[in-house]
Amino acid sequence: MKKNLIQLFIAGMILVNITSCSKQSRPVSPTQNRTIKFHLYTSQNFSDNDSTINFSLFIKKTGETVFDSSLSAMQIKDIPDAAHKLVIIKTIQDNTDSELAAGFRYQIQNVGNSWHTDTLSSGVTFKIIDFDFQ
C-alpha cells in the first residue's frame, strides 16, 4: 500500500511538472530600433519674458504611451536659439509596422497648455522632431 502511494505521488508530481512547464507561444512581431531626435529652440527674442515654462517629450502608439519625460522648468527667455538648441535622442524597440506619434507638450504658468506633434509612419526608423517655439 505504501509503495502504491509513493508511485501515485511521483506520477502526480510528474504530471504537474509537465503541464506547468508547457507554454503556449504567440507569434512575435519582429522588433527594430526606431530613433527619434527631438530639437527644441526658438527663433524669436524672448529676453524680457520671465514666465515659467515646462516642456515634456512623448512618444505614443495606438492607445499606449511608449515614452514620456519632462524637462526641467525654465523661463521662456532661457529657451535656446537654433545654434544652441536642446537635442534629445530617444531610441525605442518597436515593430516597424506601427505608426508612432511624437512631440512636445508645454505649459506656460498662468497662461495654459499646448503641444507640437509629428508622426512616424509605418516602416520609418528615424525621425527628427524639430520644434521652433514661437
Query: What SS3 string covers the chain?
Result: CHHHHHHHHHHHHHHHHHHHHCCCCCCCCCCEEEEEEEEEEECCCCCCCCCEEEEEEEEEECCEEEEEEECCCEEHHHCCCHHHCEEEEEEEEECCCCCEEEEEEEEECCCEEEEEEEEECCCCCEEEEEEEEC
What string of pLDDT tens digits covers the 134 residues of the chain? 656 656 655 665 665 556 555 556 555 556 788 999 999 999 999 999 999 999 999 999 988 999 999 999 999 999 999 999 999 999 998 877 789 999 999 999 889 999 999 999 988 999 999 999 99
> Given this structure, which CATH class describes domain 32-133?
mainly beta
